[in-house]
Amino acid sequence: FVATDGWAEVSSVQVIDLAKRFEADGVSAIVYTDIAKDGMMQGCNVPFTKALAEATRIPVIASGGIHNLGDIKALLDAKAPGIVGAITGRAIYEGTLDVAEAQAFCDTYQG
């Protein structure tokens, strides 16, 4: 379900339903954060991120839980063309993900 106000308010709206409503509104991208995984460094929710990317024409940026290069690879391995990027924070601060290495990996990924 969609959460707002710093994730304090959880609505009754399903993420994919809201994304489909936004398609006609000119939304340029969706940042999808699985709030149960955000900051946990246990991997992002690849199955749902892929499902969201496949359910809408809006590009999806994955967020929440990325820990290392393996998590970036898992997103690429999902083979969902609608997943166009990823946001990571804690993994950079903790030193478990090198941004330059991750970018180079993405640039040369052949999957």
Determine the residue type at 68: N
Angle in degrees, CA 21, 64, 76, rounded to 5: 85
* Helix spans in 1-111 (H): 15-22, 46-55, 69-77, 90-94, 99-108
How many other β-carbons are positioned within 10 Å of the β-carbon of residue 89? 14
Per-residue pLDDT in tens (0 to 9) along the chain, 111 residues: 766 666 667 777 788 888 998 998 989 999 998 866 655 567 789 999 999 999 999 999 999 889 999 999 999 999 999 999 999 988 999 999 999 999 999 999 987
> The whole model's pTM is what?
0.83
Fold annotation for 15-108? TIM Barrel (3.20.20)
